[in-house]
């Protein structure tokens, strides 16, 4: 059993080495699904078969559920997202996970930027001309969940297999919660939210890898002995 505990005095990476291979594998699958769904629904302005099935299974939300959907949706709006990002970054700093604090800022920001850039590429619309694929709100919720769960894994030293299961299940729950709100409010098709989930998983993981690589190289340069002439 591989433990992901981090020893005292260490500056832990954003993405612990044992997690890198399985998360990169998930990232590759997420990227493939993102592109596949986006290509399939490119230029569409109506729900597909999968969308209709998922919407029929969910049913029409009652009034109290709609109020809850609005509350959840706020977490993906600029003000709500800024609050959540700030709280998460502060929590990472408090627990001395400085790279995760940077990831808490960079991961969601780059994820939402990616969804914004991809929307005109795929050109799927809802409610007229509103670009919908992939869902930025779902991507934001998922990106925050990725960082939070990486923090939980590090702080509690969760072994590799349970850590991977926790990362997958936790991000699915967070993404599904926001996805439900977006579909209930009629601002996204269900497959838009799947695309948002995949975007967040891919972008946040890649951001963590790049962050670790850059900071590791910087630290190596600082620790390199100066040659004497």
pLDDT of 166 reads: 97
Domain membership of residue 11 (yes or no) is no
Question: Angle at Cα 177 formed by Cα 171 and Cα 182, nearest 5°?
Answer: 120
Domain membership flag for residue 218: no
Cα–Cα distance for residue pair 218/95, rounded to 1 Å: 23
> How far is the C-alpha of 206 from the C-alpha of 212, rounded, in Å?
10
Query: What is the pLDDT at residue 9?
Result: 46
Residues 6+ apart with CB under 8 A from 11: 98, 99, 219
Residue 90 lies in a domain: yes
Which SS3 state, helix, strand or coil, does residue 149 take?
helix
Coil, strand or helix: which one is 131? Answer: strand
Residue-level pLDDT at 219: 82
Question: Could you tell me the residue range of the domain that residue 79 belongs to?
Answer: 24-41+67-212
Pairing of strands 125-126, 130-131: antiparallel
Tell me whether residue 100 is in a domain. Answer: yes
What is the predicted pLDDT for the residue at 180? 95
Could you tell me if residue 3 is inside a domain? no
Q: Does 198 reside within a domain?
A: yes
- Confirm whether 1 is domain-assigned: no
Residue 29 lies in a domain: yes
**Over its length of 229 residues, how does the chain's per-residue pLDDT go in tens digits?**
455 655 444 578 999 999 999 999 999 999 999 999 999 999 999 999 999 999 988 778 778 889 999 999 999 999 999 999 999 999 999 999 999 999 999 999 999 999 999 999 999 999 999 999 999 999 999 999 999 999 999 999 999 999 999 999 999 999 999 999 999 999 999 999 999 999 999 999 999 999 999 999 988 887 766 565 5
DSSP type of residue 45: -
What is the H or E stretch that residue 130 is in? strand 130-131
Listed residue (58, 151, 140) closest to 101, CA to CA: 151
In the chain, the number of structural domains is: 1
Query: 129-138: per-residue pLDDT in tens?
Result: 999 999 999 9
């Amino acid at each position: 059993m591989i433990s992901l505990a981090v020893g005292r005095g260490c500056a832990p990476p954003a993405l612990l080495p044992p997690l890198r291979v399985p998360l990169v594998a998930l990232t590759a699958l997420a990227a493939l699904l993102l592109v596949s769904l986006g290509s399939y629904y490119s230029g569409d302005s109506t729900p597909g078969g999968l969308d209709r099935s998922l919407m029929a299974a969910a049913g029409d939300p009652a009034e109290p559920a709609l109020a809850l959907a609005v509350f959840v949706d706020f977490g993906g709006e600029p003000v709500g997202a800024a609050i959540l990002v700030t709280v998460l970054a502060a929590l990472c700093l408090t627990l001395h996970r400085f790279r995760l604090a940077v990831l808490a800022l960079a991961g969601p920001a780059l994820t939402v930027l990616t969804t914004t850039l991809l929307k005109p590429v795929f050109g799927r619309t809802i409610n007229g001309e509103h670009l919908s694929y992939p869902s930025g709100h779902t991507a934001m919720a998922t990106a925050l969940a990725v960082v939070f769960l990486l923090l939980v894994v590090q702080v509690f030293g969760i072994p590799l297999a349970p850590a991977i299961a926790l990362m997958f299940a936790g991000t699915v729950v967070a993404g599904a919660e926001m996805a439900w709100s977006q579909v209930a409010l009629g601002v996204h098709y269900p497959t838009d939210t799947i695309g948002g989930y995949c975007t967040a998983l891919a972008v946040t993981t890649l951001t963590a890898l790049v962050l670790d690589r850059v900071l590791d190289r910087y630290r190596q340069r600082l620790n390199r002995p100066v040659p004497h002439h």
